[in-house]
Structure 1
Amino acid sequence: MRKIFIIALALFIAACGGKKESDKQTLIFAHKGEMQSLDPIYSYDGVTQGLILNIYDTVIKFKGSSISKFEPLISTQVPSIENGLISKDGLTYTFPIRKNVKFHNGEILTPEDVKYSILRFILSDRAGGPSNLLLEPILGVNSTRDGSKFTITNKDIEEAVKIEGDNVVIKLKRPFAPFLSIMARWSYIMNKKWCAENGEWDGRLETWQKFNNRERDDSYLFNHMNGTGPFKLNRWDITGKRLSLLSNENYFLGAPKIKNILLMTVDEPSTMRLMLESGDVDVAEISQKFDKQYDGHEGIILADNLPRLRTDPAIFFTYEINTTANPDVGSSKLDGKGIPHDFFTDKDLRKAFAHAFDYQAFLTQTMQNKGTLANGPVPPGLIGYDKNAPHYNFDLEKSKEYFKKAWGGKVWENGFKFTITYNTSGEMRQIACEILKRNIESLNPKFKIELRGVPWASFLEKTDKRQMPMWSRGWIADYADPHNFVFPFLHSRGRYALSQGFKNPKLDALIEQAVNSVNVSEREKLYSQIQKIAYEEAPQIYTVHPTALWAFRKNVKGFYDNPVFMGIYFYPLYKE
């Protein structure tokens, strides 16, 4: 397997015009998972977003490893009430735009490009995409659509984002506590003229609806990039799961020391280890489960136990399963040979599953104690996290009690058969599913669970179509605020709640109240209340908040980590 990788890698380097892997100016980075699209408005996965932050600059950025302090980037100042760039009512933010910044195609960035980029991000609004991150604070909605009807007007858009001289001015619908954190991570700036010349939205309000919720491949930016960041796209070999970058020699903060970067998908852990040991790979993402395999290797350094704003794995119940031609639900009846479409709407059933997971063993044995037990969706490091909050513990007797109550006793009497799904590159998610399966089946011989790993693209499609009765996935922060966890997990319009068909009006109201408050103590109380309701409802099983682990060849220097990067920021790296 490794020999195949090396031959393919050598051919790829040659085709890209890259230098030998030993060259100090070339960095080879191995990651798990696959990129879905290079368009910032489409991709909502960690692998792709970890790449994009190296290509497109944002208006402001996080200061080093901090998740609460910011620095200027495309904006020359970070807005605050003290410097007058945030209005006293907390609604208007002014960003003074830096001059003489060049895009990768040589054109000069203007305030119009910044305005265009923000509007393109929110108005493209791909179903299941990241547009809601800016839609919610700027236009006060989570989607531009309600069914086939558009929910925003051109007047709303005109009033939201304006240009005043060299400034871009954004007016929010209501105070939104984490707005700067979102802008530091998601305000990718692209070239309006270049986009329009290549068939993308031209920036006119009369035409934006034509570019709303398009298919992935319809975008020119699916496989093209033109940012102002420290690196630029050279080549994307989609079939070979490899991508190459070149340094941006005109970067306004100075050219990167690394001139060529090769990114490649390596899902097999033993192959990853061999390539690191031999120097065929310089940097790699590895699982905590395999950290002991690197003990004693002098050429490799582990950046271990890195803090993450992450809840992963979590296990999700689908409340309204799409049973049409669906092998994962068996007979589609509660007859011992399958499950019905509304199987998991029974709260006792969900609690039975929650008590059947061995949380401590998973953290200790599988995660090597590299993380924290999860009491809810909000991870340590954010307001709203409470290590003493109510949580489910491993108790098979309690699990049995709840199973006997579920569906009026029919679950215990008849049994069930269905499939739990995980993505094929998610080792920890697979193990979590295996633990749950083993414990559930030990309670009753009529309980039968099958496990299935599917490729990431298929996994996403099956999730959106609600074809998976139960599935394992995780969440890593898009920005550093508890709203970014409670909303996707628990709000009826959130990413996971939508995929599950989970709705709780009381939770929706509390979540919206919490994000609109700028009072920290009030937000603390609201998030505590939200997670107590989530505990009682048990819509998901939260296992751990893991830390991260990167492996480096010893000569790679300059690395620093930030919990919201989702990948590695290559700009400060160099080789000795």
Structure 2
Amino acid sequence: MKKHLLLFGLTAALVSCAGQGDKNAGNLVTLSFGDWSRFDPAYCYDSACGEIIQNTLETLLFYDGESADTYVPLLAAEVPSVENGGISEDGLTYTVKLNADAKFSDGKPVTAEDVEYSIERMMVYSTDIGPALLLTEPLLGKAEPVRDGNFTFEQIDQAVEATDENTVVFRLAKPFAPFLGVLATYPSAIYSREDAIARGDWDGTADTWEQFSNLAEGSGKLDQGPVGSGPFTIERYDVGKAVSLKRNDDYWREPARLERVIIQSVEDENTRIQMLDAGDADMALPNAMTPTALPQLEKKDNLTVEKASGLSLVGLFMNQNIDPKGTNYLGSGKLDGKGIPANFFSDENVRKGFATAFDYDSYIREVTQNLSKRAGTILIEGLPGYSEDLPAYTYDPEASAEYFKKAWGGEVWEKGFELPVFYNTGNTGRQRALDILRTTLQKINPRFKLEVRELAFSQILSQSAANQMTVWAGAWGADYADPHNFAQPFLQSTGNYGAQIGYKNPELDQRITEAVASTDNDRRVELYQEIARTGYEDAAFIPLGQPLSTYVQNKRIQGRLKNPMFAGDYYYTISRGE
């Protein structure tokens, strides 16, 4: 038995009992790297756990095939519109009728109360690492977690209301152009209210809601996944190693073609290549194989390698307000060449020094193998407002040196610095990006010293949320295909990355709020271009590139959808051919 199969005993058992021609007949083994956070939607805001939620829970709406911005009803009976009365003329009220056939994996029907509970619970929890802001922004009026009395339970309760067993009404605090996209994304997944309460979770009342606000990691009752209505259920989770999904044979639509899906975490890429070539794995998750591996994989007779446009952005993030009590990454904590102070990146000259020190052309050419398009702002290709005329930093060592000579009154240039920078374990592309930065900075000034470190993905998520990181490589995949979903998380002070890096520009905050509420598309484009340019001028973060999505799979695999909005893969449509 091959060593890599020992990562997950269930996989080995499946392989040993399958036929010789197709090792995994009836099942699917797919490869990833890194680990998973919990499977409670209130804590999940990454593609790893999001993929599990996407396949075990369901949303009111879903994406139409491979389209990023058109929707079909799933748990809803139809897609609400102004024409069918589902959306009010002022854009503030959305009325959703439920699909009468939908039921949970325990056989009980999906009701409007379940929808109300699931959406309200997300806002009640408002965890630091979760996606609650996707809902608080349109429904409560601000992209902020429910915290310290900024919202009342009455506001939460009135925002989502089950008016009868099969009807849910959403009352928005302001017009929100991409709200249908919010309803289609996995953070808006619906699950069983009865099951959650039976497990000791929030009971859905005003009396107890504050007890569940921002519960610490490990405190939730639904960490192993709520009862959902999806085509699969979670069968087993070997922490950090693999997740097994089992077909829901009582699914309300036709059951999935696959009996079981096993997602394995295999950090070593050579091992992933060997498993794919030998047929021990059927495919890799989107972008789980680095660009440098693709030419080798393309030569394999039993594999296909496909590329598709994506809506994601890779960047380097610089924390302007590091928590000195929560981290040991600051070295001396001073500008003495042996560390950095906690507010080191609050000087925009430092940030611009880093931005002009990075060799973008080498990154695109050597690291991504030209499978990434240069992106200089949050407006990437495929979003309204994108233009090739938008600004982008370039590799300019002389300009970088001038910025650093201005930083902190000249002390940075004179004394230098030492600091660790981070990438998630197994992500060699991000590792190499940081290696490029380390090398170019040392050429600019030998006193500039970076130490490139790996860290488990879950640790990067939790430490960045707690403002403990220094500089790290990360990425953002669109929650919905609208420029707001890049402006808000990257540049608004309450956004995912904005909060993690301590970036705050009050005028920009207001402009982002105005842009998403505008019903004039031309005005929205104008505002988002202004927002993109301001983010560039502030060097809020360093955009590296917009990658193509890559899909590697065995030629037997059929029905795989390449939708840039998916969190990983959607297994319901996949089958095995001869």
Q: Which band: TM-score by shorter chain?
A: over 0.9
| CA distance in structure 2 between the partners assigned to 1:559 and 1:15 by the alignment | 22
**After superposition, what is the alpha-carbon deviation per residue over 1:476-512, rounded to whole angstroms, capped at 9, x for unaligned?**
1122211111111111111111111111101101110
**After superposition, what is the alpha-carbon deviation per residue over 1:164-194, rounded to whole angstroms, capped at 9, x for unaligned?**
3321111100000110001011321111111
Counterparts in 2 of 1:368 and 1:64: CA distance versus 1, 3 Å: same
Aligned pair 1:7/2:6, yes or no? yes
| CA distance in structure 2 between the partners assigned to 1:303 and 1:293 by the alignment | 13
SS in 1 for 2:56: coil
CA contact (8 A) 1:363 1:372 kept: yes
CA contact (8 A) 2:329 2:470 kept: yes
CA contact (8 A) 1:103 1:109 kept: yes
SS in 1 for 2:123: helix
Amino acid at match of 2:368: M
Look up the match of 2:310.
308
**After superposition, what is the alpha-carbon deviation per residue over 1:401-446, rounded to whole angstroms, capped at 9, x for unaligned?**
2222222222222222222222222222111111111011011222
Counterparts in 2 of 1:50 and 1:506: CA distance versus 1, 3 Å: same
CA contact (8 A) 1:283 1:551 kept: yes
CA contact (8 A) 2:123 2:132 kept: yes
Amino acid at match of 2:256: P
TM-score (norm 1): 0.95
Counterparts in 2 of 1:231 and 1:11: CA distance versus 1, 3 Å: closer
SS in 2 for 1:150: coil
CA contact (8 A) 2:129 2:462 kept: no
**After superposition, what is the alpha-carbon deviation per residue over 1:135-184, rounded to whole angstroms, capped at 9, x for unaligned?**
110111333444xx222223212321112332111110000011000101
Q: Quote how far apart the aligned CAs of 1:78 are.
A: 0.3
| CA distance in structure 2 between the partners assigned to 1:389 and 1:424 by the alignment | 33
What is the correspondence of 1:270-285 to structure 2 with a 5 Å cutoff? 270-284=270-284, 285=288
What is the correspondence of 1:109-508 to structure 2 with a 5 Å cutoff? 109-146=110-147, 149-165=148-164, 166-185=166-185, 186-238=187-239, 241-284=241-284, 285-304=288-307, 306-312=308-314, 314-324=315-325, 326-508=327-509
Counterparts in 2 of 1:11 and 1:119: CA distance versus 1, 3 Å: closer
CA contact (8 A) 2:54 2:567 kept: no
Q: Quote how far apart the aligned CAs of 1:344 are.
A: 1.5
| CA distance in structure 1 between the partners assigned to 2:498 and 2:326 by the alignment | 23
SS in 2 for 1:471: strand
| CA distance in structure 2 between the partners assigned to 1:218 and 1:90 by the alignment | 37
SS in 1 for 2:552: strand
SS in 1 for 2:299: coil
CA contact (8 A) 1:32 1:47 kept: no
Q: Quote how far apart the aligned CAs of 1:348 are.
A: 1.8
| CA distance in structure 1 between the partners assigned to 2:483 and 2:342 by the alignment | 32
Q: Identify the range of structure 1 (434-443 vs 336-345) with the bigger mean alpha-carbon deviation.
A: 336-345
| CA distance in structure 2 between the partners assigned to 1:483 and 1:16 by the alignment | 45
Q: Quote how far apart the aligned CAs of 1:459 are.
A: 1.8
Q: Quote how far apart the aligned CAs of 1:355 are.
A: 0.8
| CA distance in structure 2 between the partners assigned to 1:283 and 1:155 by the alignment | 47
Amino acid at match of 2:268: E
| CA distance in structure 2 between the partners assigned to 1:17 and 1:377 by the alignment | 48
Amino acid at match of 2:479: D
Q: Quote how far apart the aligned CAs of 1:325 are.
A: 7.8
CA contact (8 A) 2:282 2:553 kept: yes
CA contact (8 A) 1:318 1:344 kept: yes
SS in 2 for 1:54: helix
| CA distance in structure 2 between the partners assigned to 1:257 and 1:145 by the alignment | 41
| CA distance in structure 1 between the partners assigned to 2:15 and 2:196 by the alignment | 25
**After superposition, what is the alpha-carbon deviation per residue over 1:461-487, rounded to whole angstroms, capped at 9, x for unaligned?**
322333332222111112221111111
CA contact (8 A) 1:28 1:281 kept: yes
| CA distance in structure 1 between the partners assigned to 2:544 and 2:351 by the alignment | 15
Amino acid at match of 2:272: M
SS in 1 for 2:573: coil
Percent of aligned pairs sharing the same letter: 36
| CA distance in structure 2 between the partners assigned to 1:439 and 1:83 by the alignment | 58
Q: Identify the range of structure 1 (503-512 vs 225-234) with the bigger mean alpha-carbon deviation.
A: 225-234
Q: Quote how far apart the aligned CAs of 1:96 are.
A: 0.5
Query: Which stretches in structure 1 are left out of the alignment for 5+ residues?
Result: none
Q: Quote how far apart the aligned CAs of 1:518 are.
A: 2.1
Amino acid at match of 1:350: R
**After superposition, what is the alpha-carbon deviation per residue over 1:226-264, rounded to whole angstroms, capped at 9, x for unaligned?**
11111112111225x111111122222211111111111
| CA distance in structure 1 between the partners assigned to 2:536 and 2:65 by the alignment | 35
Counterparts in 2 of 1:325 and 1:49: CA distance versus 1, 3 Å: closer
CA contact (8 A) 1:58 1:189 kept: yes
Amino acid at match of 1:435: I
Q: Quote how far apart the aligned CAs of 1:385 are.
A: 2.1
CA contact (8 A) 1:19 1:26 kept: no
After superposition, the CA RMSD in angstroms is 1.9
Counterparts in 2 of 1:553 and 1:325: CA distance versus 1, 3 Å: closer
CA contact (8 A) 1:232 1:245 kept: yes
TM-score (norm 2): 0.95
Amino acid at match of 1:154: F
**After superposition, what is the alpha-carbon deviation per residue over 1:246-303, rounded to whole angstroms, capped at 9, x for unaligned?**
1122222211111111111111100000000000001113122211121321101112
Counterparts in 2 of 1:325 and 1:199: CA distance versus 1, 3 Å: closer
| CA distance in structure 1 between the partners assigned to 2:191 and 2:12 by the alignment | 28
**After superposition, what is the alpha-carbon deviation per residue over 1:282-338, rounded to whole angstroms, capped at 9, x for unaligned?**
11131222111213211011122x2211111x1112112233485432222112222
| CA distance in structure 1 between the partners assigned to 2:109 and 2:163 by the alignment | 18
CA contact (8 A) 1:421 1:452 kept: yes
Look up the match of 2:37.
36
Counterparts in 2 of 1:521 and 1:538: CA distance versus 1, 3 Å: same
